[in-house]
A and B are shown apart, each in its own frame.
Chain A
Amino acid sequence: MRRSNLKAHLLRPQFAALAAVLFINWLLFPGFFAITWQDGRFFGSVIDVLNRGAPVAILAIGMTAVIATRGVDLSVGAVMAISGAVAAVMVSDGTPAVVAVAVALSAGLVCGLWNGVLVTYLDIQPIIATLVLMVAGRGLAQLVTEGSIVTFADPLLIYIGTGSLLGLPMPVVIAAVLMLLATLAVRRTALGLLIEAVGVNRSAARFAGISSRLLLLLVYTFAGFCAAISGLIVAGDIRGADANNAGLWMELDAILAVVIGGTSLLGGRFSIPMSVVGALIIQAMNTGILISGFSPQFNLVVKSAVIILILVLQSPMAAQWIARRTTAAERTPR
């Protein structure tokens, strides 16, 4: 039973897609899988995919729960900018980095809570409610940095963005730990099931005595928190806060990662690890196009073509086709 479950998991189209993208990367660039050990950490294209994919993966972790409730959070890119700006300005004013990080993460929580309040208590459609912060958030970040790029040399922030732990880049470690904790939090408690119930039928959830509002507040707040972590990583990576460009359009990559991961925009069933796989697929494509020597102009077109392919593979039509093939295959030996 368990084994066949594992097999079923590995046969998911997302893994096939990831394998295919990696394989094509290898064809285009034979050194793709080469990993070297240098200065106490791993280097290589695959490590680079993980490292570069981490910010979107972290956003996708938070976005998954939001989308599972039939919502969406467009503001995460802007929240990244806010969090980076807050941390950068505080450390450059001499605040201890630990405090700056704590305040930046709290800013993310507050932003998420704001979205949650708009969605639950004012009953604004999620896409509009979070659009408010998507626009205003970047403005807030610009106010915090007073319009300039605030650079810093604080070792802790830089470590978050570029350091390493056990040979792995820090962003990868953070993303992996967050994925693990978030998955445990939703699957070892009843949260996952209740979130799915709210996403499938909010009215029925109400009649069943589920506290939908509290759950919605929680998922939006968590998405804001994830965005703040992502913002710290991006700021640490470039050793500065760029309110105009930090996290720009990344909310869209995060949504895409969740959708590629198999969570429907109509809410319901979700999987946080699969969303992370979705983020890795996106990053593997980006990296592949960059290192293969194609001109970067191809990037967006190729990316969208691959995405269409993945979505077709996930469609009910394809699932039926595969189901027919497998039952036929199972029958023949008898």
Chain B
Amino acid sequence: MTAGDTPVVEARGIVKIFGQHRALDGVDFAVRAGEVHALLGENGAGKSTLIKILTGAYQPDGGEVLLNGAPVRFSDPLQAQGQGIGTVYQEVNLLPNRSVAENLFLGHQPTRFGIVQRKVIAAQARELLATYGLEIDVKAELGSYSVAVQQIVAIARAVELSGKVLVLDEPTASLDRNEVAKLFEVIGRLKARGLAIIFITHFLDQVFAVADRVTILRNGQLIGTRDLSALTATEVVRMMLGKDLAYDQRTLGVAESVQGPVRVEFRGIGRAGRVAPFTLSLHEGEVVGVAGLLGSGRTEMARLMFGVDASDGGEVTVGGRSVTIRNPQQAVAAGFGFCPEDRKLDGIFGELSVRENIIIALQAKLGWFRALNRDEQNEVAGRYAEDLDIRAANHDMPVKLLSGGNQQKVILARWLAIDPSFLILDEPTRGIDVGAHAEIVRTINRLREEGLALLVISSELDEVVAYSNRVVVMRDREMVAELRGEEITPAVIVSAIAENTGAKA
């Protein structure tokens, strides 16, 4: 790192604890004036927590935030904004039903005798946006413009209000290629004006296109801050996923293990804008691992398979018979199970009991009139709770009181209860404690031995390598590689993920 200039904003040894979980553990982070600093990390790495601490939305449990070298303590984002740190989120946080000009000056409109001066506002707005290379009708409603224009307006407003540090939280997620180029042009101008810009994204090529330095977080730890000019995409991916390429051996035996006939086959399944059509078949007694960065289309692939989103075309066969899967009910009827990535949102029924959470999918499959009575429910819940070692004081307590790991096991138990033939696990080990983690990996191996076909999506490459018979790699919403046998090593996976990224602007 070049010494000399003091960082505009700096975080030193930041610690943030949620419950028993250390979301950030001694993280250092510094942004200089006139640089674009990318902040990278997988989900749960601590990016958004760090940003929320820098912008005053959270208070750190340890460490300090410095602004121009002086320690500061923001009680809320408004205060941070007043002192120079402005944030633009992925979802534009403005009023789409008011004019562009009003949005720019909302809360600090130029007034005369307490009356808002519309003409002055319009003139100032036009002038301001011109510096961003944007010439639009500022009196038109903000909502009538594209997301890209709204983003630029949001940036202009944030810079106007703050003026030192600009945080861009996934600003490009809903933009097309031309719009991204436009946004990058604006970022370039602001950089030239000496702003410190923090850029959060999942797209590696964009990081290389626009950023000067990068800070990478993983599981709440700082992995490092580097100059991007000295890095390759592969190195960045490796830092993000924590793969030391020297670590190259894989747990042998998995790939060679016997596997049965094809259990389920997806042919030409895809959805425009979500994931390109892919073809994949899974055998009985086989685990197919899915690797790829966040936003690579891995979750979208799983959702299509389970009918959460409907496919544009293609064909699904189960045990050689063609089936239609347009919604989850049909998937469950076909013997599929799906443990979704977002446990809280899509998985658990917080207020319902552990017992009810376990039997719910089986009950839904049985239908309205074949109700499981209390004894049957206890029997089913008891069996799978014991199988998976679910730690609950009793099975009548609300599932929301369990730990994350036990909740994950409850959802797994829910699907095992329907006696599935194909199980999709999306990040089954994310955010859970070590004990539950091991239990889930053990269960994956056991289910494989029992003849299930499994698709496991995970960012933990060690894990993927350890239990997968095959690994498919997703990149840019496309299935780009299928690795077998000897090829299944962290190094090969990392380079498959990183391939080509950074090459395009």
Contact = CB atoms under 8 A, between A and B. Distances in A.
Interface of A: 188-191, 193-194, 196-197, 200-201, 203-211, 268-269
Contacts of B345: 201, 203-204
B454 to A, nearest CB: 17
Given A207-B308, A207-B340, A193 B348 contact: no
Given A197-B360, A208-B360, A190 B352 contact: no
Contact of B332 (A188, A190, A209): A209
A194 B370 CA distance: 12
B369 A189 contact: yes
B400 to A, nearest CB: 10
A295 B364 CA distance: 54
Given A203-B346, A204-B347, A208-B332, 12 more contacts: A189-B369, A190-B363, A190-B366, A193-B371, A196-B349, A196-B356, A197-B349, A200-B351, A201-B348, A208-B364, A209-B332, A211-B364
B366 A200 contact: no
A175 to B, nearest CB: 25
Contact of B369 (A190, A193, A269): A190
A203 B369 CA distance: 23
A220 B331 CA distance: 27
Nearest to A199: B351
Contacts of B350: 200-201
A189 B360 contact: no
Given A191-B368, A204-B345, A209 B351 contact: no
Contacts of A188: 371
Interface string B304-315: 001010000000
A35 to B, nearest CB: 38
A182 to B, nearest CB: 14
Given A193-B356, A193-B363, A206 B368 contact: no
Contacts of B367: 190
Nearest to A208: B361
B329 interface: yes
B276 interface: no
Q: Which of A188, A193, A211 has the most CB of B within 10 A?
A: A193
Nearest to B343: A204
27 contacts: A189-B368, A189-B371, A190-B367, A190-B369, A191-B368, A193-B363, A193-B371, A194-B368, A196-B352, A200-B349, A201-B348, A203-B345, A204-B348, A204-B349, A206-B308, A207-B328, A207-B338, A208-B364, A209-B331, A209-B332, A209-B333, A209-B361, A209-B365, A210-B329, A210-B360, A268-B351, A268-B352
A239 B115 CA distance: 62
A313 to B, nearest CB: 20
A227 B333 CA distance: 36
Given A189-B369, A190-B369, A190-B372, A211 B329 contact: yes
B412 to A, nearest CB: 13
Contact of B349 (A189, A191, A201, A209): A201
A283 to B, nearest CB: 30
Nearest to B356: A193
A205 B371 CA distance: 17
A269 B351 contact: yes
Nearest to A268: B351
A194 B371 CA distance: 10
A146 B364 CA distance: 47
A197 B352 contact: yes
B37 interface: no
A327 to B, nearest CB: 15
A206 B350 CA distance: 15
Interface in B419-477: none
A223 to B, nearest CB: 18
Interface in B198-229: none
Contacts of A211: 329, 364
Interface in B164-205: none
A204 B342 CA distance: 10
B414 interface: yes
Contacts of B372: 190
A207 B349 CA distance: 11
A191 B360 CA distance: 11
Interface in B314-354: 328-329, 331-333, 338, 340, 345-352
A196 B360 CA distance: 11
B329 A209 contact: yes
Contacts of B308: 206-207
Contacts of A193: 352, 356, 360, 363, 371
Nearest to B337: A209
